[in-house]
Structure 1
Amino acid sequence: MSSFEQKRIELLRQFDAMDTNHDGVLDMDEIDSICQRAGLSPQDKKEFYRNFDSNGDKLVTLDEFELALGIKPLNKIKKEELHHLFNRYDKDKSGFLTASEMHQVIVESGITNISKKQIEEWLRKYDKNADGSLSFQEFCVCYLAMNVGHEII
Structure 2
Amino acid sequence: MKIKIKEYERVLLYFDEDGDGKISASELIHRLNQMGENLLFNEAKVAVEALDSNGDGLLDLEDLIALMEEGNEEEKLKDLKEAFGMYDVDGNGFITAQGLKRMLSKLGELKSIDECRVMIKKFDLNGDGVLSFEEFRVMMQ
TM-score by length of 2: 0.42
| Structure ranking higher in strand proportion | 1
Q: Which has the higher contact order (CA 8 A, sep 6+)?
A: 1
State TM-score, norm by structure 1: 0.39
Higher helix share: 2
